[in-house]
Each structure stands twice: as C-alpha cells, then as structure tokens.
Amino acid sequence: MTVRHLLEVDDLSPAELAEVLDLAEVTPPARPLEGRGVALLFEKPSARTRNATEMAVVQLGGHPVSMRGEEVGVDGRESAEDLARILSGYHGAIGARVFAHSTVARMAAAAGVPVVNLLSDRAHPTQALADLLTLRQHFGRGLAGRQLAWVGDANNVFASLSLAATLVGMGVRAACPSGFGPDDAHLARVRALGGDVAVTTDPAEAVAGAHVVSTDVWTSMGQEEESETRRTAFAGFTVDAPLMAGAGPDAVFLHCLPVHRGEEVAAEVVDGPQSLVWAQATNRMHAVRGLLWFLTAVDRG
C-alpha cells in the first residue's frame, strides 16, 4: 500500500496538483471517509486551518478529532513518532500544525496513513493549494505565464506559494528586506522545478506588471520576540494603493490571513476591489477537502 504525505506542496507533481484542484471544485459523489477519522494536531493557534479542515473531513463523511499540542505533549509525554503510530490506528489521515518542520516530517516517517503539514516554520502547503484554487477561479485554468509578486517576509507561506506557483508555470518576483529573503536552498528548489524566480529589495520592482500581489504578516507565530525589529526592517514594505497601482488595474491581492491592516497591507487594499482574501479563506476548506480525498484514495489504492 502506498502512503502519500503532503509535507510541502511539491510532494505533488504538476499533474497531481491539477488533480487535487479539480477534486477541490466538486462535491464528492460518495463519502470517501465514511467511518474513518482524521486527527488534527495544533501546536500553534489556528482559526481558518482548523475550521476548514474539520469541515472538509465532515464533507468527506469522516470525523475530525482536533487536539492542541499541550494536550498530547509531543516529544514530552511521548515522541512524535509514537503519536503518529497510535493515531494511524484510529484515523484515515493525520494533519499537524507544528513549530519545527522536522516534527511533521518525523510523524510522516512513522505514520501508516497520510500526514498533511497544516503549517510548519518552513511551509504552509494547504494554504498554497487554496491560493491556486482562488487564482484558478479568478483567471481560469491558464495560470502559466502569469506573474506572482510577493512583498514582505520570505516565510513559510512564501515558500509554499512560490513552489505552487512554479508548479503551474507562474513566474515569481519577491521583494524582501535585506536579511528576510528566501535562502539559496529554497531558490534552488524552485529553480529545480523549472521556476522563474527573482528576488529584489524594491517592492515597486517586484509588483511591476504582476497579475497577483501577495503578502503575509511581518512576524509569524513563534517569532513574537522579534516583532519590534521586524517592524523596523519591514518599513516601506506595506502593500498600499500606490504599490498596487504599479501592478495594474486587473491585478488581484492575496493574503493568507490573519491580517494586520496598516502593517503588511493597507486597509484600502485588503478591503478593496482587487482583494480576493475572503474567497481565498473559504477555499482553504475546498482545497483541503480535495487534498484529503486525493491522499486517502491513493492510500486505499
């Protein structure tokens, strides 16, 4: 039996990614998770991911069991590997939001069922699936050749979105303050997939001619002690109306949420006509439903 996991979005081939997005757009004709559970572990807070994933499991006919990290004591009460082994005995799949990417990778290595990364310090692949679904709904399936501009921190959300955009043939232009750009290993990973990626410290340069402008918080969960330093470093990286104007009138704005209006994005943009953020948030549910359907079908095959 083949067990497939999703630790990062490029665990899917371009064809598989298209299949997951296709599945996300249809209501399952049967209840593929009937009588099965899905364990959802959260070491960090979540509103969208927990609600979207629990409801996706319900829509697939399964039963979600959400746990906070402190309830189960990952690597304290028992190891991540032992937890993954026992959860595999009850559930058809496991999702985990973790501080260290290595935790979800270790769970996948030990699990007997698919493990989905619901956000780590390195990646947020289910967010990237929802982002592509949102862009497909807006622009149609022909995303190849379109340009994605990322403004801000080259964080977990950027990592997954830049890989996902590459898998559908989009170009990526990132504007990040010095010291907050993508590392060489990530750029090499994007380029190994055939990605067209460039990095600058000038937001106007990155957004020029872009079809999509995306950003995220300046301080991610777990980095709270750096928030003052980051606020200073990211000055000038707010996505506001003048910056969006450089991308052209047909460009759209994405943000994974939660948002800090007046920091990484101005209210006029996130609440304005070019913003797709509310559809993007709802699409978290549709995208993870398509993914769980795909992974558990592969698992059974």
Catalytic residues: 97, 124, 127, 216, 256, 284
* 111 binds, options ligand CP, ligand NVA, none, Cβ within 5 to 8 A by partner type: none
User: Which one among 49, 117, 120, 283 touches ligand CP, defined by CB under 6 A?
Assistant: 49
- Exposed e or buried b for every residue in 128-157, given b needs 16+ CB within 10 A? bbbbbbbbbbbeeeebeebbbbbbbbbbbb
Kindly tell me which of 83 and 157 has the beta carbon lying closer to ligand NVA: 157
By CB under 6 A, the count of residues binding ligand CP is: 8
**One-letter amino acid of 293:** W
How near is the Cβ of 73 to ligand NVA at its closest, in Å?
22
Cβ-closest residue to ligand NVA? Answer: 220
- Cα dihedral 168, 169, 174, 180 in deg (nearest 10): 60
User: Among 161, 247, 153, which residue's Cα sits nearest to residue 207?
Assistant: 247
Binding mask 139-178 for ligand NVA (x = CB under 6 A): ----------------xxx---------------------
Residues 6+ apart with CB under 8 A from 300: 1
Tell me the C-alpha distance between 233 and 179, whole Å: 9
User: Which one among 26, 47, 109, 241 touches ligand CP, defined by CB under 6 A?
Assistant: 47
Tell me the C-alpha distance between 160 and 188, whole Å: 14
256 binding ligand NVA? (CB under 6 A) = yes
Kindly tell me which of 10 and 153 has the beta carbon lying closer to ligand NVA: 153
126 binding ligand NVA? (CB under 6 A) = no
* Secondary structure element (H or E) that encloses residue 48, with its range: helix 48-59
* 220 binds, options ligand CP, ligand NVA, none, Cβ within 5 to 8 A by partner type: ligand NVA
217 binding ligand NVA? (CB under 6 A) = yes
How near is the Cβ of 133 to ligand CP at its closest, in Å?
14
46 binding ligand CP? (CB under 6 A) = yes
286 binding ligand CP? (CB under 6 A) = no
155 binding ligand CP? (CB under 6 A) = no
* 217 binds, options ligand CP, ligand NVA, none, Cβ within 5 to 8 A by partner type: ligand NVA
Within 10 A of 294 (CB to CB), how many other CB atoms are there? 23
Rg of the chain on CA atoms, in Å: 19
215 binding ligand CP? (CB under 6 A) = no
For 31, what's the count of Cα atoms within 13 Å in the CB-facing half-sphere? 10
138, 252 contact by CB (below 8 A): yes
By residue count, the chain amounts to: 301
Sheet strand arrangement including 37-42: 63-68, 37-42, 91-97, 115-117
How near is the Cβ of 256 to ligand CP at its closest, in Å?
4
100 binding ligand NVA? (CB under 6 A) = no
Binding site for ligand CP (CB under 6 A): 46-49, 119, 127, 256-257
Binding site for ligand NVA (CB under 6 A): 119, 155-157, 216-217, 220-221, 256
